[in-house]
Every structure is written in C-alpha cells, then in structure tokens.
Amino acid sequence: MGKGSSRTSMESNRDEAHGQETSRDELTAWLAAETNSSAAEVAEGLEAGERRRAFVVDELADAGFTGPELLELVVRLTGLPRRAAKALVAERAQRIASAEPVEVPERDVRLVGNEIRFRSLNEQLAALDETARVAGMLTLVCECSDRSCWKPVEIEVAEYDWLRQDPLRFVVLPGHEAPAIEDVAERHPRFVVIRKHPETHAEAALADPRRPPT
C-alpha cells in the first residue's frame, strides 16, 4: 500500500477514534510523527489527497450519480468515513452551484452534437443487429466530431456495453480524435475511446440514450 493510502487510512481512523474534527496543524504534526516525514511533505500529501478526492466527487457527479448512490461510491473510492464523505459531497455541490456558469463555445456544442448523433445511431444499430450480438462483434459508425464521417468501426459487444456505461465516452477511429474538445481515454488497434472535456459534459450526459427516465 502506498504512503498516500496509508495516510488516508490513518487520518480516517484517527478522526473516528476521537469522534471530532482535527485541525490541519494537529493532523499534519501527528502524521509527520507517525510516518517519520517532514511536516512540509505531509502537508503537500494532504493537499494532493484533498484534490484527488474532490476530483472523484466532481467526476461522479458529472456522470450523473446523485444521492445515496453518489455517497456510497465516494466512500468506496476515497476511503473517507461516511460523515466526511457526506460533507465533501455537500461542499462540492455548493461550490458548483455558486460558480459562475461557463459559456460553452458554439463550435464545441456543434461538434459534440455531431458525436451525440452518431452515438444515437450506434445505439439503434447495436439494438437491431441481433446476429452481430450473438457473434460478439458489432460493426458501427465512427462517433467522431466530423459530421461527414460515416466510416465503420468494429467493436466487441462487451467493449461496446462497457463504453456506454459512461455517457462522456465515445468511440472513434484512430486519428479521428479531436484534442481541442476531448481526451483520449484508451487506445486499441481498431478504435480509440475518447472522453469529453468538462465544458461539454452536460450536453453529452443529458443526451445519453441509456439515461434512466426521471
């Protein structure tokens, strides 16, 4: 287990044992003594841990998780005690609610719109092609941002079902990714999995064809 994980575990255990919040200076001093590290090193590790945990909460919220389900995932993925996880979720929600709305460039909206249309088409193709599903391999269309691209993409059924578990992921042909609006999540010989930048998370998530009805 890495040093960061040990610190998170020790931090959680100490908070639970005392049953009260601990000041940052006290926690830093205690961890420095327990790990034979300098206070500066411990403080840097704590700040990095806070950023990672905040990132986990933000990503889960962007993916559409809310309420008890979100809390359970935060507890499991961060290792925080339930009370601390609940406070973190509330703090991130308040920060997002009070933030100034980000204006998404029209170009980004247009390009993600192209990808969303291709994704919707692929959902229909995957549902209709029962023979391909039995064979385990689907032939779909590239979900890149180029509206004139109708090139075929071959992907295994299991890979495709995994892909669709995250509404921010799309499948494109190698070389068809657009770094200005998305990041490469995975590269495979036949295709590339891309993930949308935060600016268009809302558009991609709201148009998710597998989103449960509200």
Percentage of the chain beyond pLDDT 70 is 82
What's the average model confidence in pLDDT over 131-157? 91
What's the average model confidence in pLDDT over 153-171? 94
Nearest to 144 by CA among 175, 177, 113: 177
- Residue 16 confidence class, pLDDT cut points 50, 70, 90: very low
pLDDT value of position 24 = 67
- Record the pTM: 0.54
Angstrom distances, CA of residue 206 to CA of 20, 59, 128, 157: 40, 15, 23, 24
Question: Considering the chain, what is the average pLDDT of its residues?
Answer: 82
What's the average model confidence in pLDDT over 163-167? 92
pLDDT value of position 2 = 45
What's the average model confidence in pLDDT over 66-87? 87
Q: Concatenated DSSP letters for 96-127?
A: HHHSPPPPPPHHHHHHHHHHHHHHHHHHHHHH
What's the average model confidence in pLDDT over 30-41? 79
- Residue 21 confidence class, pLDDT cut points 50, 70, 90: very low
Q: Which residue has the higher pLDDT, 138 or 19?
A: 138
